[in-house]
Structure formats: C-alpha cells, structure tokens
Structure 1
Amino acid sequence: MNRMNRLKNKLNKEAFTLIEMLLVLLIISLLLILIIPNIAKQSSHIQNTGCDAQLKMIDSQIEAYSLKFNKKPNSIDDLITEGYIKENQKQCKSGATITINNGEAVAN
C-alpha cells in the first residue's frame, strides 16, 4: 500500500492542473488576438510596396522601349508584344491594373 501512495504522489506532482492549462490557453489566445490584426495590416502594406516596385520596373521598360523605337508605347500591350514585360506583369498582386498614361505606368 505504501508503494501505491508514493506512485500517486509522484503522478500528482508531475501533472498540470486544469487551471494551469486554462491559463496557458488564455495567454496564447490573447497573443493571437493581438498578433493577427497586425499581420493583416502588414500584408496590405507589402502588396502596396510591391505594386510601387512593379510600376518602377515598368517605367524602366517604357524608357527602354522609347530608346529602341524613338517613341513612347501607346499601351501596356505594346510592351508585352515587344517582350519588355510578361502578360502577368500588367496587374499588381493587390488586383490593380497597370496602364500607361502620358508615358508613365499608373496603377488603377
């Protein structure tokens, strides 16, 4: 019987209580609640920054086109036809469509 009591005491000392487990879950939940909105905000910022970078890249391709043909392209399709950009590069990841307005790339 003495052996059984020692085994019970040993098991009780090593286990977590329900209260401890609930506290850990509460802390994890609070951290997730605080972190998830910040991640969503950063995602839209990253997409906007990526679109700005894509516009600059297309502006440089417009300049390359202008140097070769001595005129600005009429539309973004001229850049695609001549191989300066790919078809999937005329849209930003945010969904904005890139067009050429007065010789510059613009996201709409």
Structure 2
Amino acid sequence: MDERGFTLIEMLVVLLVISILLIMTIPNITKHNQNIQKKGCEGLVNMVQAQVVAYDMENDQVPTLEQLITGGYITDNASCPDGSSIVVNEDGSVESQ
C-alpha cells in the first residue's frame, strides 16, 4: 500500500489549528484598525489646524474650510478615515464631527 499522502484525520487537525489561529487573530486586527483610524483623524485635525494658523498669519483672519481649499492650504474637503468631517470653528480651532 502506498502511503505518500495525508490521511483525513491529519488534514482535519491542520484545518482545526488554522481555524483556531484565525479566530485568535481577527479580533486583534479589527481593534488595531479602529486605533489606526482614530490616529489618522487626529493627524488630519492637527494638519488642518496648522494650515488655519498659516492662513491666519498671512491674511489676518480666521479662515473657513472653503477658504483653506481655495487658497491651496488643503487639497479637498477634509474628512477622517472613519467618515467624520473636519470643522473649523469661528475661533480658529479645528475639530472632527
């Protein structure tokens, strides 16, 4: 009898081990994805805040988001990776909503 292949039991054990490894890693991946999106939004808010300060220094007024776009300070209507939008308040502070 030729015994060069794997038995059904051996294949099931391998699939069981792979399944257990996947079950353990998937929750960690989703947790890190949420953390990455949060950090990306914080970075975007900081970048827009810096552009608001630069616009204010050059034009002596607090800009709106549209003025930052038309002035070339930011490229488009900024939104965070999680879908929330960036808002420039009247006092020049920037936050995500």
Same fold (TM over 0.5): yes
Task: Work out the CA distance in 2 between the residues paired with 1:46 and 1:62.
Answer: 24
Partner of 1:87, secondary structure, is coil
Structure number with bigger Rg:
1
Is 1:51 the counterpart of 2:59? The answer is no
Q: How does 1:9-28 map to 2 (within 5 A)?
A: 11-12=2-3, 14-28=4-18
Scaled by the length of structure 2, what TM-score is found?
Answer: 0.93
Structure 1 residues without counterparts, runs of 5 or longer: 1-7
Task: Work out the CA distance in 2 between the residues paired with 1:87 and 1:69.
Answer: 20
Offset of residue 16 of structure 1: 1.3
Scaled by the length of structure 1, what TM-score is found?
Answer: 0.84
Offset of residue 85 of structure 1: 0.3
Partner of 1:86, secondary structure, is coil
Task: Work out the CA distance in 1 between the residues paired with 2:74 and 2:94.
Answer: 12
**Structure 1 runs (4+) greater than 2 angstroms displaced:** none
Offset of residue 77 of structure 1: 1.1
Is 1:60 the counterpart of 2:50? The answer is yes
User: Number of residue pairs matched?
Assistant: 96
Task: Look up the match of 2:81.
Answer: 93
Task: Look up the match of 1:83.
Answer: 72
Among all aligned residue pairs of Structure 1 and Structure 2, give the percentage whose two residues are the same amino acid: 43
Structure 2 residues without counterparts, runs of 5 or longer: none
